[in-house]
Chain A
Amino acid sequence: MSNYLLIGGLLILMGVAYQYGARRSRAVSKASAKHLHSLPSHYGAMVALACGIPAFGFLILWSFLQPIFVAWVVKSGAPPDIAALSGPDLNQLIGRVTSIASGYGVSDTASAFEREAAGRLSNFLNIVSLAKIVVAACLAVGGLVFALRRITPQLRARNEVEGVIRIVLILCSTVAILTTVGIVMSMFGETIRFFSFVNPIDFFFGLNWNPRFSSTGGGSGDFGLIPLLAGTIMITVIAMLVAVPVGLMIAIYLAEYAHPTVRTIAKPVIELLAGIPTIVFGFFALTAVGPFLSDFGALFGLQIRATSALTAGVVMGMMIIPFISSLSDDIITQVPGAMRDGSLALGSTRSETIKKVILPAALPGIVGAFLLAVSRAIGETMIVVMAAGNSPVLHANPFEAVATVTVSIVNQLTGDLDFASPQSLVGFALGLTLFVITLGLNVVALYIVRKYREQYE
């Protein structure tokens, strides 16, 4: 709670600093009879930032350092067996001591040492929280005074504020990048651990997927990627066979034939399809498309399971249609009107113009859109979980059930988890594999799209 008060106090102080800065700059300007370099509001902002940044920086730094000090306080004066603790056991001890010190207590009886350490810790924390307020206040006021003194008509407060804004923007973009790096790193570590149990060759080229439950102990089962990858590819291909022709024709209609009013209505409606949660698509597959395909197949004497690669692929294709149509439509409209006019003026019809001039010119961009849709399809989970039947067996029959990489991750990483067993760790290896595949596709797709853009500039 005291933290919120502290932050609130700092914000108020920054507001005051702003007023002081602005007022002081006016006074300085009047006294020296010189024109200010920047507006008074820039000086105010500069003073407010000088007041807030050091104090907040200190608070952030402290939140990282506090656990280290807490561990040090808990361990100091401990008997040798406790001093030797490390890793999860130490964390557990610190957790217990912290909750005793905060007055919540622990469920079982605390040991003498824990009670004694808790007393020390609560003293320490009391002192620290006071010290924290004092230091933050000093930094804030110090920054304020220092900045106020710097104000002269020549000071380029405007440029300094600009610099701070730039740094804030850079920090924000760094967060996004670091998140990606963090995700990859976390998967990477677990994947390495997985490969200490299972030979990478058995994983990447294994033809059997049969991870036994870790509770059965002993042998670790088969972790062959190939059946899952085959399932993923089969469903993706089916989805693309549905989505590409339909999506492309929608795009051609919207870009070349549709009246502007039709276009302004139809385009958002089609894009609405992309906003439907995939779990709803899965539901649709399970209750509508699957039974329909099954009955439809029966008419021709075909055995189609209600939950099969076909069902999942068809529904996924429907989900992807707006991706293809929307991206392709943008690309087709970007083909310069001069191409269209040139072809029409030579006496070709509209569809000849589209087939022979527009589509070839837009092809690289359409391929890029196609690849983006593929990477979307490969990573799709919910539809496949619900509609593909989850059968990790290598076969080439789209009317049968399959399992995909994403489904297997769900299976391996839900329920009771034991992160020391390959049965769970394989989820990370699968995730990383998927990440590398989609990353590769995205890079290729973006490269193609960019190359295409340059062509007309």
Chain B
Amino acid sequence: MSVQTKPKVVAKDVNVYYGDKHALKNVSVNIPERAVTAFIGPSGCGKSTFLRCFNRMNDTVDGARVVGSIQIDDQDIYDPDLDPVQLRARVGMVFQKPNPFPKSIFENVAYGPRIHGLAHAKPDMEEIVVSSLRKAGLFEEVKDRLHESGTGLSGGQQQRLCIARAIAVSPEVILMDEPCSALDPIATARIEELIAELRENFTIVIVTHSMQQAARVSQRTAFFHLGILVEEGTTDDIFTNPQEKRTQDYITGRFG
């Protein structure tokens, strides 16, 4: 599997503190463009914390402090001049539990474009909504009920709605925080197919508990343990030929 030469995101010596707790220690990693990078590791290992550094969602947590540098396209996102609100338009996020707003399906997808002023007229907005829903593989299922509540959909549909909502603002990077952990196997398979399609256009970082999922969807994998990045490499290498014993133990199910 060939991967783009220049990385999209470069994280260097990232440390995260929650109050007195040192949650993430000296993590450096490169995220390639238009590929899926998976973060794996046991619960509480810091993988979600790290993911939330990329769109500065840790800023919203009281007492959280991030030290180090993360560059997206050579621009430091922790630069004081950078507006985190603008950054989040470039780096979308999909959460563990589907969290559609209690609005119609249309309004859910239109939410982002509306606050960023991406559509100037009504037809533009409709086009954005329809194409986002199409890219998220949801349009055919909901085209007759775009104006019904988004919370009435099934769990898997809700999660795809959230993906549509995220891609409606045309981000460059999409962060996914265990997007399938609340879904059944069929809905999970559907989301995994979708991730493979989205890879053509977006840089995707996914946190997952399931090693099978990491092996299925990602090209690169990073293994975290106790706030430390233990090992990182192509997914094939990590799963077939891990360099570290802890990685091997985790992958073979000896702990976690």
**Are chains A and B native binding partners rather than an unrelated pairing?**
yes
**A residues at B contact (CB < 8 Å):** 259-260, 336, 338-349, 352, 356-357, 360-361, 455
Q: Which residues of A contact B169 (CB under 8 A)?
A: 346-347
Residue B55 interfacial (CB < 8 Å): yes
Residue B137 interfacial (CB < 8 Å): no
Alpha-carbon distance between A255 and B103 when the two chains are bound, in angstroms: 22
Alpha-carbon distance between A346 and B163 when the two chains are bound, in angstroms: 11
A346-B92 in contact given A260-B62, A341-B57, A356-B111 (Cβ < 8 Å): yes
Over the window 143-185 of chain B, the binary record of Cβ atoms lying under 8 Å from chain A Cβ atoms (1 yes, 0 no) is 0000000010000000000100110010000000000000000
4 residue pairs, one from A and one from B, having the closest CB atoms: A347-B89, A338-B99, A347-B88, A345-B93
Contact B112 A339 (CB under 8 A): no
Q: Chain A's interface: helix, strand, loop or mixed, by majority?
A: helix
Q: Which residues of A contact B95 (CB under 8 A)?
A: 338, 341-342, 345
Contact B101 A339 (CB under 8 A): yes
Q: Which residues of A contact B97 (CB under 8 A)?
A: 338
Contact A341 B99 (CB under 8 A): yes
Q: Which residues of A contact B57 (CB under 8 A)?
A: 341, 344-345
Q: Which residues of A contact B87 (CB under 8 A)?
A: 347
Mark out the residues of chain B between 101 and 137 whose CB falls within 8 Å of any chain A CB in the assembled complex: 101-103, 111-112, 115-116
Smallest CB separation, A455 vs chain B (Å): 7
Could you list 7 examples of A-B contacts with CB < 8 Å? A338-B97, A341-B99, A342-B100, A345-B55, A345-B93, A345-B166, A347-B169
**B residues at A contact (CB < 8 Å):** 55, 57, 60, 62, 85-89, 92-93, 95, 97, 99-103, 111-112, 115-116, 151, 162, 165-166, 169
Q: Which residues of A contact B89 (CB under 8 A)?
A: 346-347
Contact B99 A339 (CB under 8 A): yes
Q: Could you say which of A336, A348, A357, A361 contacts B85, with CB atoms under 8 Å apart? A: A348
Alpha-carbon distance between A341 and B88 when the two chains are bound, in angstroms: 11
Contact B85 A360 (CB under 8 A): no
Smallest CB separation, A340 vs chain B (Å): 8
A342-B101 in contact given A347-B86, A347-B115, A348-B115 (Cβ < 8 Å): yes
Alpha-carbon distance between A357 and B112 when the two chains are bound, in angstroms: 12
Smallest CB separation, A341 vs chain B (Å): 6
Alpha-carbon distance between A343 and B115 when the two chains are bound, in angstroms: 10
Q: Could you say which of B60, B93, B103, B165 contacts A360, with CB atoms under 8 Å apart? A: B103
Which residue of chain A has the shortest Cβ distance to B175 in the bound complex? A345
Contact A346 B166 (CB under 8 A): yes
Q: Which residues of B contact A346 (CB under 8 A)?
A: 88-89, 92, 111-112, 115, 165-166, 169
Contact A343 B85 (CB under 8 A): no
Smallest CB separation, A96 vs chain B (Å): 71
Alpha-carbon distance between A155 and B126 when the two chains are bound, in angstroms: 74
Contact A347 B116 (CB under 8 A): yes
Q: Which residues of B contact A343 (CB under 8 A)?
A: 101, 111
Smallest CB separation, A331 vs chain B (Å): 13
Smallest CB separation, A217 vs chain B (Å): 64
Contact B102 A361 (CB under 8 A): yes
Q: Which residues of A contact B62 (CB under 8 A)?
A: 259-260
Alpha-carbon distance between A396 and B93 when the two chains are bound, in angstroms: 55
Which residue of chain A has the shortest Cβ distance to B108 in the bound complex? A342
Which residue of chain B has the shortest Cβ distance to A455 in the bound complex? B102
Smallest CB separation, A416 vs chain B (Å): 59
Contact A336 B99 (CB under 8 A): yes
Contact B111 A345 (CB under 8 A): no
A345-B85 in contact given A356-B111, A455-B102 (Cβ < 8 Å): no
Alpha-carbon distance between A426 and B101 when the two chains are bound, in angstroms: 52
Which residue of chain A has the shortest Cβ distance to B166 in the bound complex? A346
Which residue of chain B has the shortest Cβ distance to A352 in the bound complex? B115
Contact A356 B115 (CB under 8 A): yes
Q: Which residues of A contact B60 (CB under 8 A)?
A: 340-341, 344
